[in-house]
Structure 1
Amino acid sequence: GPGTPAPETGERAADTGGPQSTVQGASASDASSAAQADPPVAPSLALHAPMRLAPHVRAALVDIVDALNTGSAAPMAAATPAGLFVALAEFERRHVEPSLALRALREARMLAGGGDGPAPTSTWVFGGEACLGLTIAPPFVSGMEPAADAGSGNR
């Protein structure tokens, strides 16, 4: 009786959080007609990590990119002129030690700028707070269109 509406809304919220995984197995025709009706709001990003990247770091990055695509969790990550900025806190949230992520990404040569310098980290502002993070080089992330204002200083 009275408890029924609450689980229903909870299920809907969970459904909208991860359409990619359920759509592929369920019915692709429904998804394509829905996609044609609604123009995409955010760019659809895809990670292209080399096989040598550590599996736990790859899984964390895939999760971060998926969260960016769905807009469900609003991760501290952003498309920039230099590549995909990912806050170190996003790795911590996914139980990956930032130093291990940094080393794995450096060894896989996925960091913007080559990652050969002493500390390939940078800072990006989310919600008025500066966050330390690293930038994945553009060749490893497809569908990136950095914000127009961010590109003005790219010379």
Structure 2
Amino acid sequence: MTTFHCAACGEALTAALELLPAVPARHQFEGVLVDGRRQAPPTMSRGHYAVDPEPHGPPFVPAEDQDGFPAAYPGGPCISNLDGLVVVSAGPRNTFVLHPADAPGLTWHSAPGGPPGCCGAPGDGPPNRACPCGAVVGSEMSDCCTPYELHLLPGAVRLV
């Protein structure tokens, strides 16, 4: 079992979580209404986490296969830019993916360049979740068109 702590101040951010061997398949949006907003089912079940070897978050680069979208890029997030190109994440790898409710003490961190989505956080902007001390520790994805998950940044947390 692992507890995630803020690398800046040492505060525990989660209760003990069990490591899964891989990130489960991400759900497609099913139009489920949760607490007044639409979202996909959570990628991770409560009490578990996994290491995501794929890039997550910004920066975004043009996808090599512009015709294979979205099948070629099942992870999140993939977005189209204003020129009609499909762009994919070139962000950090090996983020820790968990259920957003497993880190209840995190606060929202508003950073420029990451406008909110219509139903939640799209995960295509800068990291948006912070420790109560103010240190940015990860990104929540919770918009209607994205998986529902929290990514903790490897350099921002300590595993205990």
Richer in helix (by share):
1
Does TM-score exceed 0.5, indicating one fold? no
Report TM bin, short chain: under 0.3
Identify, as 1 or 2, the structure richer in strand.
2
Higher Rg: 1
When normalised by structure 1's length, the TM-score is 0.25
